[in-house]
Amino acid sequence: MATEHYRGIPIPRRMHRYWNTTSGRYWRQGIDAAIDAAPFFVEPGQIWADNDYRLEGRTLRVDHVEDGVAYCTVLTNYKHVDDMIGNGHSPDLNKVGTTTQIRTRRFTADARGYRLLTQPTPVISMSLGSGKELT
C-alpha cells in the first residue's frame, strides 16, 4: 500500500494487513461516514424536530449552547402524549414549556437524532430619525 493516510487520517499499522478485507472496508466506511457527515451548527433560536419515529411530533427551541450541550425548551409534545392528554390522562404528561439538555452531537440527520426546522430570525433595527430605534 503506497499511502500512510486515508482521507487525511493516519492508517493504524495493524490495519495495513487487513486493508482489503471486511475489517478494512468497515474501517474505511467509518472514516468516510465521519468525514462526509454534514455538520450541524447548533445555535440559539433554532427550532429542531425529533427524528425518532416513536417520538413523532416533538419540537424544541435552542435557548443557549454551552460546552457541547444545548439547553432547549420543548415547544410541542410527542404526538402520542397529546393523544393521551386529549383522552383524559394526567395533564402532568404535558412537557410544553419545560427545559431539557441535549448533547450537540445528537443534532444529526440520523434516525435517532434531530432535524433542523428553522433558523433563528435575525433582529433588524431601524432608526426612526427621532433618536429612537425600532427592533
Per-residue pLDDT of the chain (135 residues; tens, 9 = 90+): 455 888 788 888 888 888 899 999 999 888 887 766 655 688 999 999 988 887 788 899 999 999 889 999 999 888 777 677 777 777 777 888 999 999 888 887 777 788 888 887 666 655 555 555 555
Dist CA 98 CA 115 (whole Å)? 20
pLDDT attached to residue 53: 80
pLDDT attached to residue 124: 61
CA angle at 46 for the pair 40 and 51, rounded to the nearest 5°: 65
Encoded amino acid at 38, one letter: A
Q: Among all chains, which residue has been given the C-alpha cell 425518532?
A: 52
pLDDT attached to residue 93: 76
β-bridge partners, 101: 71
36: left (phi over 0), alpha (psi -120 to 50) or beta: alpha
Give the strand pairing for 9-10 and 99-103. unpaired
What is the chain's alpha carbon radius of gyration, rounded to the nearest angstrom? 22
Dist CA 78 CA 89 (whole Å)? 14
pLDDT attached to residue 133: 52
